[in-house]
Structure 1
Amino acid sequence: MDSLRPSASPDSHDNHSAAAAASASDGTSEPSRLADGLRLPCARLQPQLKDPGTLDMSEREAELLKRLRKLEGGGGGAEQPAGAGGATGRREDEPPVSDDVEDSEDDGNPHQPPPQKFAADSDHHSFILGYRSADVDLTGLHPLPSQVACLWQIYLENAEPLLNVLHLPTMDKLMGKMKWRVGNLSLGAEAPVFAIYYAAVTSREAEEFRFTLEQALAKANILNTPNMAVLQAFTIFPTMVKCHDGSKFCWTPTSVCVRMAQALGLHCDGVQLDLPPFELEMRHRLWWSIMSIDSRSAEVMGSDLTVADKHFDTQLPSDINDADIDPSSTEMPAPREGRTDTSVSLVRHETCALCRRLLTVMAEMGPVDPKNAGKTLEGREYMLVEVYDRIEEKFLKHVVTYDDPLLWMASLIARIVMAKNGLVIYQPVSFPGTGPELFNEIRNRLWVSTIEIVEYNYLLNTDPRCRQWRWLFQAYRQWPSIAYMLLEASRRSWTVTSERAWEAAQILGHDHPMEGTEKEDPTAVWMPVKRLYIKAKRHREVERARLRADPAAAQRLDVEDRMNNVPERLGPVPGMESQKSELRLR
């Protein structure tokens, strides 16, 4: 990375030495310099730079010292991570850091160069990506040409089936050239290439490729000159970065993606614009990929959708293979039957469209009217069943074996989303005091659904068949389902189904310890779940003691549990088919 930093000139070195010698008579130490020659206004900052170990510092002095050490990249703390900004992101002609107008007055140093302005169009990305990258040459940061083919293949196998943002034949030509030569890339092509590197790499090197992707996006001037290639790269970025950063970080670039897409007119269906088939298809893919990210971000953050469904009319992508279409196509190919290159992403987009419709309908309808609760909830569930039947018919009806792990995984995700949306539909009346009481049949069905969601979510995160696509859902936590499962378990007499829910709750211990909350952050999102877990644990202990003392009551509850057995909507979890029999023996 040293090659990215401006080097010091001999004259600036002599001037700096003279300033340091002049300051020695005042008893102050020689001020530090930025890495490899980028200078601070030394004479201005010298009087404030006192040793914190020997002298008392005012709050102002401490802040100046903190800023200087941060710019130097050492001294007062841990090394800055990639993406946090710092000395490596400063331009040589960038004006030095000054505190305010009062401290910025000329101190008589004849060698202090006046601040210079740089082009405004290259100075507006650091607040998002942490860098100003107009002068950064990324050629040396590409992997070796011999590694490009490997990274491209990893992307094709692990990321592309789920993202489906790029057109593979077009990118394959570009990546084929990269095998022999990595230079001479346009800014629009450089960003997608680094997006592919970042998506492909999931080990330690991921941070390095994230750094270069952020640099490439900033160099492409994404905020002022959006284009399809750069937006494709920027869409991959929040999808992948959630594996390394929190939900709040992903939430912000998602809204930027939406605004960039609107600037390109992707929210208007290209059929009305008489666009070529290839461009039309790529616009559909990109828009719905962004809508999927937006829906997930809104769900996690508890916020509204960035753009409502009534504000766009872009159709879903076509169910075709990438080989069926190219930039020279004059007609749109007919949709295919069975699995295609877009099948898995279409399952995501269909479920995304359903989630968005439900969120919109529930927001517009408001609370459930107790007098018409049955009719209202029935209409919402009909919407859910309609979409699920369409997905089942188009994509999942042929998934009866494990011969195709990718489509099998997609079927699990679709069924989990459907079950979770069932909980969303009934959530306004699911908890005591929030509305009319649910029928026991519906309560039992929701409870079993939440148990299945937790079990299947664990299966997706542990089954070796899903290992290469785990990045998509490993950061997802089904908190509403887990909370409802534990709440219902703590309200009911203890049965075999209750014990099954308790067994599913033990899965939580793999992510967060359920015991010992003394040192935990009370604001963590899973802390309320931990309290529900502890409540259910105490209820279980009391109930088991009661049933051991009253075998007749235990037998009666077992009969009732068999009679009220709810059909499993997702099917038995592999490896857990005999679980109920084992639980009854306890």
Structure 2
Amino acid sequence: MSNQACEPCARRKVRCDKQQPCSNCKRRKQDQCTYPEAAPTDRVKRLESLVRSLGGDPNSDGSRTPKRARLGPSPVETQSNDRDAGASTESERGQPILVEQDGQSYYVEMRAWHSHLGLEVNQQNEVNHDVLMSRPLISRTKPDALQGLLRADYNINLALQHPSVQDANFLWDRFERNANPLIKIDFDWALKGLRANSTDIEGRTSLKDPEHTFLFCLYLMSIVSIPEEECTKILHQPKQVLLSHYQAVCEQALSRSNIFCIADVIIIRALILYMASCAASIERLSIRSLFSLMGLTIRNAEALGIHRDGAILRLNPVETESRRRLWWHLQHLDLALGVRCGTTPLTLMAGWDANVPLNVEDSDLNPDMTEAPAERKGLTSLSYCLWTYWIVSQQREFFSSNRGKLGISWASNKSLPHATKISLINTMEEGLNKKFLQYCDPIKPLDILVQLTSRALICTMRMFTLHPMSFSGDANITDEQRHAQLVEAAIKSLEYNIALNSRPEIQRFQWFINGYFQWHAFISVIVEVMQLKGSPEAQRIWDLLSDLYTYNKNLLELSEDRRKLHAAELITSAWKARQTADPSAYKPACVSILEPLLSDNRGDATKTQTEVVGQPLGPVMTDEDLNAMLDLEFQDIDWGFWAGME
């Protein structure tokens, strides 16, 4: 048995049992378990360094009382390291490490834990993790909190809950085509191995519970991403039935994973897919509950050290890149949920240091790499995720430079000068153009999606800065100019939405696009067309609304969202006013579609009310109410109602 840790364990900073090969290398398989050759002089130098680290002098006669051990850098070293921001951070936090206990990795940052673990310091002033821990890192003698809330049924055989092999292959195909390009949280070659096991009856029996959990969340994500017709034709069940079934299976599998104390990174990936699926299908679960679940997931990710860059933890390039993708997607999804809840996520302003993932293809990475690959120039299969991560990084930068005074709604912050808002938006637009948009290929679906969604975001931000409820004032802009610019920005925002919904190349991403409809722009143009009535300028908006309803079929589902019903009533009432002002105007296609739907909706409501109370129910809004609303201006609208996502 060697008296030193093997080179892979020393590099990973994990405990080594010093066997040949050691248990860690046996488990990882890809590591070659080799031990360094220690010359006698090296051993003497190591021991002398250890004496110095304890405050002693190896050349003295031993009469001096040794000082207490110092695990951090010396003041001189600290001053030198302060030239580098990353080193400065480490001198403040303590050296981050990953240690293993009972086959699980734990992240340790505080110096107090270094003493608890009995870590030594070698001649390079690096922590030596070979010393046997005197006490366990995590006590497993106590139960975890709130265990009664997660009632897992261990009598259910998860291997039997998978779909048929044929259906599983179909769901995998749809995941890889529709969802994976937008949620790149694992490498394609890693998913390939998992697919092989999940589409084989015998292979399923070898899967562990965390792998089953990830697969069920993947199936749920796939079903969210496919249209109703495919569910009925290929899977032979309505989409809502499939969603309910796999949501229940996902939650049962997650309940076995103890989401309060997650020990396996694959469960973090599973939760991302679960939350992304439910957020895209907004009528299934409340956004606030998903936002709370995201907080729990991020705290577990921090406990696994995913918020720290893998290079600092001395992980290999593949592990480093994997953790970066995971952490940044958590931040992106956390910000998206925060926007829909009207809350600024606290991690947006926290001091984590995981770098943005590299702009590389999955094929550029392999488990045997020791050096990170060079980044590619232009767009890659990761580019959609990267532009969203870049937006998160810009938000963090705004927070840092303004000491957290800018929330996620800074574009609509009336206390912030208009010129400052425009400067921030221009900075984001220039960065997007330089880093992403100039490389977009107009025939590649993912490039089209990057271009349209990023431009729509900038347009929406400009619209918010001009909104009467958030406009900060500008001596160079009259109220009439501001209003004209606001309407133009709202129209442009909806035109981007129409482009996203009408381009056949990106129809496979429809599930994602539908989750981010811009209600503020929609109601803004409706209010504007009410004001224009018989004006010739109104025709452009009527044509826009007709195209919007043509390519947004979900807007016709009036019973599922009261905003859709109220918007339809406002549009039909605005048309009556236009018809009165200009009898020669032709009826827009959207009005021809909405009028019978509203009539049916009112009939259903009347029937329901009669059955319950015995009295007929009038329409949601009377004609008098709607006519009165034609005099509304922007400041009269309850914008909170239209922005609500519940």
TM-score (norm 2): 0.57
Aligned to 2:195: 175
Shift, 1:164, TM fit: 0.5
Task: Give the whole-Å Cα distance in 1 for the aligned partners of 2:503 and 2:142.
Answer: 51
Aligned match for 2:251, one of 196, 205, 214: 214
Counterpart residue type for residue 426 of structure 2: V
* Pair 1:287-2:327 in alignment: yes
Shift, 1:239, TM fit: 0.5
CA contact (8 A) 1:447 1:488 kept: yes
Q: Structure 1 residues 514 and 232 mapped into 2: Cα distance closer, same or farther (>3 Å)?
A: closer
Aligned to 1:387: 428
CA contact (8 A) 1:294 1:306 kept: no
Which ranges of structure 1 fall in alignment gaps of 5 or more residues? 1-118, 549-586
Shift, 1:451, TM fit: 1.0
Task: Give the whole-Å Cα distance in 2 for the aligned partners of 1:339 and 1:171.
Answer: 22
What SS class does the counterpart of residue 161 from structure 1 fall into?
Answer: coil
Aligned to 2:8: none
Shift, 1:225, TM fit: 2.5
Aligned match for 2:186, one of 153, 166, 180: 166
Listed one character per residue, the Cα deviations across residues 236-264 of structure 1 (whole Å, up to 9, x for unaligned) are 11111234414435333323322222332
Shift, 1:147, TM fit: 4.4
Aligned match for 2:418, one of 367, 374, 377: 377
Aligned to 1:142: 162
* Pair 1:189-2:211 in alignment: yes
Task: Give the whole-Å Cα distance in 1 for the aligned partners of 2:545 and 2:372.
Answer: 49
Listed one character per residue, the Cα deviations across residues 109-160 of structure 1 (whole Å, up to 9, x for unaligned) are xxxxxxxxxx996994674xx7523342211112334544443232111111
Aligned match for 2:521, one of 460, 481, 491: 481
Q: Structure 1 residues 368 and 139 mapped into 2: Cα distance closer, same or farther (>3 Å)?
A: closer
Aligned match for 2:275, one of 200, 221, 238: 238
Aligned to 2:54: none
CA contact (8 A) 1:125 1:218 kept: no
Q: Which moved more, 1:135-144 or 1:251-260?
A: 251-260
Aligned to 2:86: none
What SS class does the counterpart of residue 516 from structure 2 fall into?
Answer: coil
Counterpart residue type for residue 369 of structure 2: S
1:510-525 to structure 2, matched below 5 A, reads: 510-512=553-555, 524-525=562-563
Listed one character per residue, the Cα deviations across residues 244-286 of structure 1 (whole Å, up to 9, x for unaligned) are 4144353333233222223323333333333322222122211
* Pair 1:447-2:447 in alignment: no
Counterpart residue type for residue 360 of structure 2: I
Percent identical: 20
CA contact (8 A) 1:291 1:352 kept: yes
Task: Give the whole-Å Cα distance in 2 for the aligned partners of 1:226 and 1:234.
Answer: 13
Aligned to 1:405: 445
Counterpart residue type for residue 446 of structure 1: L
CA contact (8 A) 1:121 1:221 kept: no
Aligned to 1:498: 538
Number of equivalenced pairs: 415
CA contact (8 A) 1:145 1:179 kept: yes
Q: Structure 1 residues 358 and 451 mapped into 2: Cα distance closer, same or farther (>3 Å)?
A: farther
Task: Give the whole-Å Cα distance in 1 for the aligned partners of 2:575 and 2:352.
Answer: 48
Shift, 1:163, TM fit: 0.4
Q: Structure 1 residues 435 and 546 mapped into 2: Cα distance closer, same or farther (>3 Å)?
A: farther
Listed one character per residue, the Cα deviations across residues 85-114 of structure 1 (whole Å, up to 9, x for unaligned) are xxxxxxxxxxxxxxxxxxxxxxxxxxxxxx
Q: Structure 1 residues 149 and 435 mapped into 2: Cα distance closer, same or farther (>3 Å)?
A: same
Aligned match for 1:229, one of 259, 263, 266: 266
Counterpart residue type for residue 447 of structure 1: V
CA contact (8 A) 1:270 1:283 kept: yes
1:283-322 to structure 2, matched below 5 A, reads: 283-322=323-362
What SS class does the counterpart of residue 487 from structure 2 fall into?
Answer: helix
CA contact (8 A) 2:358 2:375 kept: yes
Q: Structure 1 residues 146 and 513 mapped into 2: Cα distance closer, same or farther (>3 Å)?
A: closer
Q: Structure 1 residues 311 and 427 mapped into 2: Cα distance closer, same or farther (>3 Å)?
A: farther
CA contact (8 A) 2:185 2:326 kept: yes
Task: Give the whole-Å Cα distance in 1 for the aligned partners of 2:436 and 2:193.
Answer: 30
TM-score (norm 1): 0.62
What SS class does the counterpart of residue 312 from structure 2 fall into?
Answer: helix
Listed one character per residue, the Cα deviations across residues 15-68 of structure 1 (whole Å, up to 9, x for unaligned) are xxxxxxxxxxxxxxxxxxxxxxxxxxxxxxxxxxxxxxxxxxxxxxxxxxxxxx
Task: Give the whole-Å Cα distance in 1 for the aligned partners of 2:330 and 2:581.
Answer: 48
Listed one character per residue, the Cα deviations across residues 281-324 of structure 1 (whole Å, up to 9, x for unaligned) are 12221122112222221222222324233443332211111111
Aligned match for 2:462, one of 410, 419, 422: 422
CA contact (8 A) 1:355 1:421 kept: no
1:18-417 to structure 2, matched below 5 A, reads: 124=146, 127=149, 131-180=151-200, 181-201=203-223, 202=226, 203=231, 204=239, 205-244=242-281, 245-248=284-287, 249-354=289-394, 362-363=406-407, 368=414, 376-399=417-440, 401=442, 403-417=443-457
Task: Give the whole-Å Cα distance in 1 for the aligned partners of 2:280 and 2:257.
Answer: 24
What SS class does the counterpart of residue 430 from structure 2 fall into?
Answer: helix
Counterpart residue type for residue 190 of structure 2: T
Listed one character per residue, the Cα deviations across residues 200-248 of structure 1 (whole Å, up to 9, x for unaligned) are 2343334333332222222222222343111011111111123441443
Task: Give the whole-Å Cα distance in 1 for the aligned partners of 2:525 and 2:313.
Answer: 49
What SS class does the counterpart of residue 471 from structure 1 fall into?
Answer: helix
Task: Give the whole-Å Cα distance in 1 for the aligned partners of 2:314 and 2:466.
Answer: 43
CA contact (8 A) 2:418 2:474 kept: no
CA contact (8 A) 1:162 1:344 kept: yes
Which ranges of structure 2 fall in alignment gaps of 5 or more residues? 1-140, 232-238, 587-646
Shift, 1:459, TM fit: 3.5
